[in-house]
Amino acid sequence: DCGDDVSNWLTRYLESDKTVRLVHFEPHLKPQRPSEKEPLFPKDEEVRWTAMY
Protein backbone atom coordinates (compact mmCIF):
# COMPACT_ATOMS: atom_id res chain seq x y z
CA ASP A 1 0.00 0.00 0.00
CA CYS A 2 1.40 3.38 -1.01
CA GLY A 3 -0.04 5.23 1.99
CA ASP A 4 -2.81 7.59 3.03
CA ASP A 5 -1.54 10.67 1.14
CA VAL A 6 -1.57 8.77 -2.16
CA SER A 7 -4.94 7.23 -1.31
CA ASN A 8 -6.49 10.62 -0.54
CA TRP A 9 -5.14 12.17 -3.74
CA LEU A 10 -6.19 9.24 -5.91
CA THR A 11 -9.67 9.11 -4.38
CA ARG A 12 -10.19 12.83 -5.07
CA TYR A 13 -8.68 12.64 -8.57
CA LEU A 14 -10.95 9.74 -9.55
CA GLU A 15 -13.92 11.44 -7.84
CA SER A 16 -14.66 8.10 -6.19
CA ASP A 17 -17.44 7.58 -3.66
CA LYS A 18 -15.27 4.94 -1.99
CA THR A 19 -11.70 5.22 -0.76
CA VAL A 20 -9.17 4.06 -3.34
CA ARG A 21 -5.83 2.46 -2.37
CA LEU A 22 -2.80 2.03 -4.60
CA VAL A 23 -0.73 -1.11 -4.13
CA HIS A 24 2.72 -1.64 -5.64
CA PHE A 25 3.90 -5.18 -6.35
CA GLU A 26 7.54 -6.14 -6.47
CA PRO A 27 8.54 -8.03 -9.63
CA HIS A 28 9.43 -11.16 -7.65
CA LEU A 29 5.83 -11.65 -6.44
CA LYS A 30 4.18 -14.38 -8.46
CA PRO A 31 0.46 -14.38 -9.24
CA GLN A 32 -1.78 -17.02 -7.72
CA ARG A 33 -4.88 -18.55 -9.22
CA PRO A 34 -7.91 -18.45 -6.90
CA SER A 35 -9.29 -21.51 -8.70
CA GLU A 36 -6.51 -23.56 -7.09
CA LYS A 37 -8.20 -22.99 -3.72
CA GLU A 38 -11.81 -22.47 -4.78
CA PRO A 39 -13.07 -24.07 -8.01
CA LEU A 40 -15.88 -21.50 -8.44
CA PHE A 41 -13.36 -18.87 -9.64
CA PRO A 42 -12.52 -18.68 -13.36
CA LYS A 43 -9.36 -20.61 -14.17
CA ASP A 44 -7.76 -17.63 -15.97
CA GLU A 45 -8.20 -15.19 -13.03
CA GLU A 46 -5.04 -14.17 -11.13
CA VAL A 47 -4.44 -12.34 -7.85
CA ARG A 48 -1.33 -11.13 -6.09
CA TRP A 49 -2.80 -9.59 -2.97
CA THR A 50 -6.22 -9.44 -1.38
CA ALA A 51 -7.69 -7.80 1.67
CA MET A 52 -11.10 -7.74 3.24
CA TYR A 53 -12.40 -4.28 4.15
Average pLDDT over residues 22-39: 75
51 pLDDT band, cuts 50/70/90, is low
On the 0-12 / 13-18 / 19+ scale of CB atoms within 10 A, 34 is: middle
| Coil, strand or helix at 27 | coil
Average pLDDT over residues 33-49: 74
pTM over 0.85: no
